[in-house]
Structure 1
Amino acid sequence: MAKLAGVLIVEMATEQKSTQEMATEQQEMATEQKSAQEMATEQDSAQETATEQDSAQEMATEQKSAQEMATEQDSAQETATEQKSAQEMATEQDSAQEMATAQKSAQEMATAQKSAQEDEDGSSSSTEDSESEEEDEGSEVDPDKLESESDSSEDSSEEEDIEKMDEPTAGWTSKNGKIVWSPTNDETLRYVPQTKGRLTPGPTHYAIARISDPLSSFALLLTDEILQYIVDMTNLQGRRSVAGWRDVDKEELQAYVGLLVLSGLYRSRNESTLSLWGEKWGRAIFRATMSHKRFHHLSRALRFDNEQSRRRSRDDRMAAFRKVWDMWTHRLPMLFNPDRDICVDEQLVPFKGKCSFRQYMPKKPAKYGIKIWATCDVKTSYAWRLQVYTGKVGGKPEVNQGMRVVLDMTQGLKGNIITCDNFFTSFALTEELLKRKLALVGTIRRNKPELPPNLLQARAVFSSMFAFTKNHTLVSYIPKRGKNVLLLSTKHRSPDISDEMKKKPIIIHDYNRCKGGVDTLDKVVATYSCRRKTQSWPLALFHNLIDVSLYNAYVLWKSVDPSWHQQKSHRRRLYIQEVGEMLVTPHIKKRGRLPRSSAANELVKNLHIAAAGPSPISKAKGGRRLCNLCTGKKKRVSKSCGNCGRFTCKDHRLIVCSACCVSPEFES
């Protein structure tokens, strides 16, 4: 080790002075060596000494001419590497004292060389202290910039570091590295609503031309075609399974639907049918329409396809209700155009029976049921498009299901603003919707790869942070400690915040205003629902079809005739009552056998009389009169004949039914 250190010292001395002078100076320096205590201290700080050796080598290299600088720098780097290796070897060996002596001699020699050079050139480079501080801080030296760095001082380097920290960030890169978000909206384009090609909100001309009363608006959804198809399939099933089956016609099926509607109006969906048809506590209109046995037979035989010709295939799990569902959903967008704001969400039809695509949704009130994707108008909650979710295809989960659902449920729209939750929202979805001239506002999950990590950091409560692209705005809001709400919007293009105490962004206010379109539909449908307990999922879907049809028809009727019961707060209840009564009335008028219940019997008689016209015996106007047919003592009576107008007493009066009073024989 002593020989290696001596060789290193000789090489360094050869570059500056002659070999003879260097040996003499080394002998003198060895004589004037410090005490043993100082040498031990220098051994503990061996790493610092190596750093000082690098500084000495750099100062020696600076003294070279520009022509030899590149060569000298390479030599200096090799020398520094050898010196570090020598230091490490010296630490491992017992000859640390000899190595420290050689290192000290090299340092003093470099100092003497620097002094001599300063005397000759009259100029000085950067001091040893500043360079050693920069080395301690871990700064790397660029060989191509040695001259410029030697002219700069410590204060100037600190100012440059501060300037670099104050420079604004160019952008935030997303997790996947594909999107660059900007903290400002300087380059964000202004949102211009699409008006060309957008549908006129409200009922279509097709619906307006065909609506004249509440029943006609309901008949536009539950059409004669749908009813006739159900009649055919029900009769087919009734002949096979029900003993003594009597074929049902369209009028009787309408009466059956009317009784379901009235049961929902009376909030009797959980009440037993025996109670509804009871003579003491039941409703007279149920017994007046049909017997309990007939209602039970219809419920048992009700079918929506031919079971024997049904394709036993897993490709369509909804085959038992597919045709009726398609005929009905096809008419929903034909009758009404949604307003600018629409909502896409999921609806759950309660059902706990056997069904291959039954879903479990713990956040819904019913928990178990059939899931339906729904698109609703935010202003009226009109169900514009519905789609039943039939489960995984081939046992594999669907990729990008939320994106596919939104694109399917908004097909044909232009210029609308879609609101959806974090199940559907994604950056790719917004890109596809922008191509269709549609905007989106929705919450987004924090695990999406399109998000920048900067928005996921913890901040103060009620604080907001925005990120922008040319067409997108992303906001992170902290409503309470430990919770971060993220929303993505292509409608909002500026960092607007409300003036309220919680300082919510305007994006959140718009989302809260529009997110409840489908939830409102579920609420109003459940209020007067006609659902009955059943183990048949097609029947459960049929009950939901009636409920949604009633509400959509009410929206249509209210739009066509806004003045209808405008002052009353229970307009929807009045509408459902009128539709239910109009559905059952034609069948009641045709009923040949009167019910046993007195209330139902009286109801049927009144409907027969109203259908037949004025009675042949009516009450006279202007008080009591003398009987025109009495020959002796005339009696004073108050009733007259409805045909000729003569006053008659009981002895000269005949009691006939409404059917006989309008017959030709009676008139003659």
Structure 2
Amino acid sequence: MIPYRGRHSAKQFIRNKPVRFGYKMWMMCSADGYPYNFSLYCGKEENRKEPLGTQVVMNMLQPVVNKDEHVVFFDNFFTSHALMVNLTKKGVRACGTIRDNRTGKCPLMSKKDAEKKERGSYDYRSDDVVLCARWNDNSIVTVASNYYGISPMQKVNRWVKKEGKKNIQQPYLITMYNKGMGGVDVCDQMLSTYRPRLRSRKWYWNIFAQLLNLSIVASFRFYQYVNPTSEVSHKDFRRDIARTLIRIQEPRKRKGGPTSTVPKAIRYDNVNHFLEQCPQGRCILCKKNTRLSCVKCEKRLHKGCSALFHKK
């Protein structure tokens, strides 16, 4: 949800959301929260011939080239037997929780009978295209998939009444659903952590701020993928972007006081780091007097120290 409390025909009200008023945005993300595709919900379409959840999933998957190399996960708002069959025809592997009225009349054990069974019990049916499984956990969970199956059975640790902690069996498709699901929630959490606050009531400013915020989240996830050993936090990454953008502007005259550190994006880019004459001062590395400074970093450096300072 994109927060917005002004007046617009596309504004939504969803009671159970953390952001109740605003624009609804459909998103497709990786398991770690990297956004792949998104679409703004503008209201009901008159010429729609299929359920909304099915239409959203098919539209989100249009840019995907090698569909057989990915597995798509979604919750029970989208999942239906017809959608699973349609995705199978297009070569898309999928898995998701499903509501009872969308299983295509699958003859699974009823929820009342499943609740009477011991914790960890399960039931499943398959028509050779879609497999539906019902598992007894804290509550009854029903999952459908056109790719994963029941085996190999997994073991999970649960608290069982009068028995304490106990390892119970869990079908494989539910294990994979728990691993693959939740990327959109991770992305939404990162977006809300440092969301720009705009006081304007113009409808387009909140959408613009959301897209700008989304691009930073995507950049941070890509940075973590390229630099897996980096310990830069999300906040520090945003601060480095801000410092870099400030450095691009014309330099201002200093009024004394301590100097700020040079952002890594500028310090190690190996572009236009030339030395020029300046008033005498301390070298940033060796602390000895020098009359040279870097044009771009605005730090005093000797010729020998310059190569060391700009080397990562």
| TM-superposed deviation, 1:575 | 2.1
Does structure 1 conserve the Cα–Cα contact (< 8 Å) formed by 2:135 and 2:141? yes
Q: Which residue of structure 2 aligns with residue 344 of structure 1? A: none
Instruction: Show structure 2 runs of 5+ residues with no match.
Output: 157-166, 263-272, 293-297, 299-312
In the superposition, the TM-score normalised over structure 2's length comes to 0.73
- Of 558, 564, 572, 2:234 maps to 572
**Counterparts of 2:16 and 2:191, CA distance in 1:** 18
1:466–1:495: 8 Å Cα contact kept in structure 2? no
Aligned partner of 1:466 in structure 2 is 124
Aligned to 2:221: 555
Provide closer, same or farther for how the CA distance between residues 588 and 620 of structure 1 changes in structure 2, counting only shifts above 3 A. closer
Per-residue Cα deviation, 1:573-608 (whole angstroms, up to 9, x for no partner):
33211111111222242x6xx79xx68x9979x9xx
Is 1:410 the counterpart of 2:72 in the alignment?
Answer: no
For each residue in 1:207-238, what CA deviation from the matched residue of structure 2 results, as whole angstroms up to 9, or x when unmatched? xxxxxxxxxxxxxxxxxxxxxxxxxxxxxxxx
C-alpha distance in structure 1 between counterparts of 2:186 and 2:123, whole Å: 31
Aligned CA distance change for structure 1 residues 421 and 449 (closer, same or farther; 3 Å):
closer
Kept in 2: contact 1:441–1:507 (CA 8 A): yes
Closer, same or farther: CA 398–496 of 1 in aligned 2, 3 Å: same
Per-residue CA distance 1:643-667 (angstroms, 9 max, x = gap): 9xxxxxxxxxxxxxx9xxxxxxxxx
After the TM superposition, which residues 431-510 of structure 1 pair with which residues of structure 2 at under 5 Å, given as runs?
431-448=85-102, 450-457=104-111, 458-459=113-114, 460-462=117-119, 463-480=121-138, 483-500=139-156, 501-510=167-176
- TM-score (normalizing by structure 1): 0.36
Q: Indicate the structure with greater helix content.
A: 1
CA offsets, 1:128-185, max 9 Å, x none?
A: xxxxxxxxxxxxxxxxxxxxxxxxxxxxxxxxxxxxxxxxxxxxxxxxxxxxxxxxxx
Question: Match of 1:429, as an amino acid?
Answer: L
Aligned length: 261
Q: Is the 8 A contact 2:154 2:171 kept in 1?
A: yes
Against the structure 1 CA distance between its residues 353 and 398, is the aligned structure 2 distance closer, same or farther, given a 3 Å change threshold?
A: farther
Q: Which runs of 5+ in 1 are unaligned?
A: 1-347, 622-637, 644-657, 659-668
Highest RCO, 1 vs 2 (Cα 8 Å, sep ≥ 6): 1
Give the match's secondary structure for 1:455: coil
CA gap of 1:392–1:349, structure 2 versus 1, over 3 A, is: same
AA of the residue aligned to 1:499: K
The AA in structure 2 aligned to 1:498 is Q
Instruction: Note the 1:597-636 alignment, pairs <5 A.
Output: 614=276, 616-619=278-281
Instruction: Judge conservation of contact 2:149–2:172 (CA < 8 Å) in 1.
Output: no
- Structure 2 SS opposite 1:450: coil
> Over residues 504-560 of structure 1, what are the superposed CA-to-partner deviations in whole Å (9 max), with x where a residue is unaligned?
322222111111010000112222222323312211011111111011112233333
- 8 Å Cα contact 1:530/1:546 also seen in 2: no
Query: Secondary structure, in 3 states, of the residue corresponding to 1:447?
Result: helix
Match of 2:35 in 1: 383
Letter in 2 for 1:401: L
Alpha-carbon distance in 2 for matches of 1:542, 1:619: 45
- Judge conservation of contact 2:80–2:103 (CA < 8 Å) in 1: no
Q: Percent identity?
A: 23
Task: Return the structure number with greater strand share.
Answer: 2
Structure 2 letter corresponding to 1:586: I
| 2:7 aligned residue | 354
Aligned-residue CA RMSD in angstroms?
3.2
Secondary structure of the 2:218 match is helix
